[in-house]
């Protein structure tokens, strides 16, 4: 399974320039420590694993942001595809590139 999620502080978190990178870094530390395959880009962090382990990481990452903000926004999207247990973070991109003739 792949889970793409975005977690960020909202509601007066006290970031003068509007940037939330410091709080998001705490969430990404949780992801990195999890040992799950992952990828972070400017909008989402994608993790790969089974339902329970991914949801646990998302919960702990959200709690890390909650520790520094009075309100938190969480967006989660999942690709649930039985029989595809690993390598899909890159596998999906490889198949797309092949379809594009790259």
Which CATH number is 75's domain given? 3.30.70.930
Overall pTM surpassing 0.85 (yes/no) = yes
Q: Is 58 exposed, middle or buried (0-12, 13-18, 19+ CB in 10 A)?
A: buried
- Long-range contacts formed by 85-92: CB under 8 A, 24+ apart: 85/50, 86/37, 86/48, 87/37, 87/48, 88/2, 88/48, 89/2, 89/37, 89/38, 89/39, 89/46, 89/48, 92/2
**How many structural domains compose the chain?**
1
Q: 7-48 pLDDT, tens per residue?
A: 998 865 555 666 778 888 999 999 999 999 999 999 999 999
Query: What is the rounded distance in angstroms from the CA atom of residue 4 to the CA atom of residue 68?
Result: 22
Q: Which domain holds residue 39?
A: 2-99
């Amino acid at each position: 399974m792949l889970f793409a999620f975005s977690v960020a502080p909202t509601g007066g978190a006290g970031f003068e320039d509007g940037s939330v990178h410091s709080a998001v870094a705490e969430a990404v530390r949780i992801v990195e420590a999890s040992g799950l395959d992952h990828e972070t880009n400017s909008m989402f962090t994608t993790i790969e694993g089974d339902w329970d382990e991914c949801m646990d990481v998302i919960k702990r990452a959200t709690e890390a942001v909650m520790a520094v903000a009075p309100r938190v926004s969480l967006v989660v999207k999942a690709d649930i595809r039985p029989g595809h247990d690993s390598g899909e973070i890159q596998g999906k991109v490889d198949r797309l590139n092949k379809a594009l003739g790259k």
